[in-house]
A and B are shown apart, each in its own frame.
Chain A
Amino acid sequence: MAKSKKGSKTKKFGLLAEYDSAAAIFHACEKVRDAGYKRWDSYTPFPVHNLDKAMGIKPSVLPWIVFACGMTGAASGMLLQWWSATIAYPLIIAGKPLFSFQAFVPVTFELGILFSAFGAVFGMLGLNKLPQYYHPLFNIARFARATDDRFFIAIEASDPKYDLDKTRKLLEGTDAVAVEEVDD
């Protein structure tokens, strides 16, 4: 802590490293992954295939959320129709039984799809902690180029393995164009 040049009054978000090619960030990610960091992320202007493998990201739990939502949707669709057709408004239609499940299949199916879609969209937003109105990285001017032609890795100070000097050294050893500390 004492080594920090500007005095350590302000809380730090972590370190940001900048790269000028997809290949560079790909190999950098492999190094950061192998060094055992857990709380870090990469930022690229376009999807870099297999970067998730280079980063060692585990498969998302999103499919389970979607599955649970889909099953809930289908079940609630069928239950809603069963309840309204047999208990709330028992009307005989076309001489068919009150509980004519065949007629309820389209709504059951559609609600299953609808809930799955909700689960996928809102589950994705939730897992990504979106929307976020503030992110420390936006304080860095050079980070704007993450939507244009530059690639970034940010390792957060809250990572148990984070150590300002060691982490900086690691990032500098990965062909980074620039490495800088980010205020929280």
Chain B
Amino acid sequence: MSAHHKKVSDIDEKTIEINKSTLWAKLPMIGAALAVVGFLVGFFAPGPGGVFAEDEHLWHAKQWTAYLNAFMFALSLGFGGLIFVIIQHLVRANWSIVVRRLAENAMFTLPFVALAGLPLLIGDTGQAVFEWMHVEEMVHDPMLQAKAAYLNKSAFGARYGLFLGLWGILSLLFWKWSRDQDKAKTTEAADALSYKQRFLAPIALIAFAMSMTFGAFDFMMSLDPHWFSTIFGVYYFAGIALTFHAFLVIVCFFLQRSGMLKGVVTPEHYHDLGKFMFGFTVFWTYIGFSQYFLIWYANIPEETGWFQYRAHGQWLSLSLLLIFGRFILPFFLLLRRGWKRNPNYLVWMAFFVVGMQFVDMFWLIQPPFAHHAASAAAKAGSPEVAEYFHTSITLTGADVGFFIGFTGLFLALFGWSLTTSKLVAIKDPRLEESLNHENF
């Protein structure tokens, strides 16, 4: 009916390959450079002095907390790619085919970024952040003893190995099958590869849900081993899904600014990505509030503690920033149809959403460090230090360094995958439907 029906053969070859003269072609190198600089800064930047200068272990703990913080942020983009690809195959979505390859490139980073969890198993680095890895803590704590069957270093390592295997297999299978499809000679061969991916999707969904949830338990929830929340994995997932749709908006926007994907990704696709950003904003709030609400209502000390140490001084400001920046602002700023269809506007919201994901990870991971530091200081008889950690956020070179490092690592892997294949799954049997997708 519409004025112009696009065909796959109409797509200009140049528009779906990385233009060698743009910065995109150098993205792997730029990412690698950022990673090297970032990790050097993260590991070797001097501490902020004061208490940290006096206590080497404390600085060590802060460094690895910052490491874990940035690690979980970079990992959420890889997770986002994987779950996006799984869901699009599972529901046999048409609209998303033109952006699915970009998601596959992000998905490719997952197993490699996940390898960065390895140092937490080597030597005493794990002890720096995970209270339950300390034997002397455990013998005095009946709660930790009761959880020892799950929370011990070998079980943690075994689960981590299992996650690595699962994430590697799933990501690389989808990634490879999709790339193989580009080389398919016949439509039957292309169909078969689409079918294979669709067949794997439901199995992958269950594997993803379990491994992502327990991964979130192990790497983030166990930072405060006394506390538990069965909705924690869903909370992390809500952030992942929200962030990933925003990430796709950013990638599409800047690829188009460099002259690629012209006429392939249209305002219709931005509209859908924007709708998902809005939807997952509400979903994140729903999950985040559900977690808070039950704990607030029941008012049991072992559960409320987790929120208690996020409700003082600067930590309270951070919690409020999360409520405003992750719910109230984006809720109203993503409401109108016209805004979501305007890439120039939506890309700003997308940057904001991705930025808030880092803040969310900071909010999940850094307070336990400060809480433990405050308790240790109180026990050692220095109430001023305890008060400092109780009310203040410590932002150090390590936080900045690891953020740059992990972002760089992600970009290097993403960029490599991006530059070594077409930007669109050109042989997908339903690509034409996606090209002509419209929101009625």
Task: Knowing A22-B1, A50-B1, A63-B337 are in contact, say whether A105-B293 is a contact too (CB < 8 A).
Answer: yes
Residue in A50, A63, A94, A96 whose beta carbon sits within 8 Å of that of B2 in the complex: A50
Residue in B2, B296, B438 whose beta carbon sits within 8 Å of that of A102 in the complex: B296
> Within the complex, what minimum Cβ distance (angstroms) separates B58 from chain A?
35
Chain A 149-173 interface 0/1 with B at a Cβ cutoff of 8 Å (1 = within): 0000000000000000000000000
Using CB atoms and an 8 Å cutoff, list the residues of chain B in contact with chain A: 1-2, 289, 292-293, 296-297, 299, 335-337, 438, 440
CB-based nearest B residue for A54: B1
CB-based nearest B residue for A52: B440
Contacting residues, chain A, for B296 (C-beta < 8 A): 102
Main secondary structure on A side of the interface with B: helix
Contacting residues, chain A, for B297 (C-beta < 8 A): 94, 102-103
A48 to B440 Cα, complex, angstroms: 10
Task: Knowing A22-B1, A50-B1 are in contact, say whether A67-B438 is a contact too (CB < 8 A).
Answer: no
A94 to B297 Cα, complex, angstroms: 8
> Within the complex, what minimum Cβ distance (angstroms) separates B320 from chain A?
14
Instruction: Decide if B335 touches A50 in the complex (CB within 8 Å).
Output: no
> Count of A residues near B, CB < 8 Å?
18
Residue in B1, B289, B335, B337 whose beta carbon sits within 8 Å of that of A49 in the complex: B1
Contacting residues, chain B, for A23 (C-beta < 8 A): 1
A138 to B133 Cα, complex, angstroms: 79
A26 within 8 A of B: yes
> Within the complex, what minimum Cβ distance (angstroms) separates B327 from chain A?
12
Instruction: Decide if A47 touches B1 in the complex (CB within 8 Å).
Output: no
> Within the complex, what minimum Cβ distance (angstroms) separates A87 from chain B?
23
CB contact list, A113-129 vs B, under 8 A:
none
> Within the complex, what minimum Cβ distance (angstroms) separates B343 from chain A?
19
Task: Knowing A23-B1, A67-B335, A94-B299 are in contact, say whether A49-B440 is a contact too (CB < 8 A).
Answer: yes
Contacting residues, chain A, for B2 (C-beta < 8 A): 49-50
A67 to B331 Cα, complex, angstroms: 12
A59 to B341 Cα, complex, angstroms: 14
Contacting residues, chain A, for B1 (C-beta < 8 A): 22-23, 26, 48-51
A151 to B388 Cα, complex, angstroms: 74
> Within the complex, what minimum Cβ distance (angstroms) separates A46 from chain B?
12
Contacting residues, chain B, for A106 (C-beta < 8 A): 293
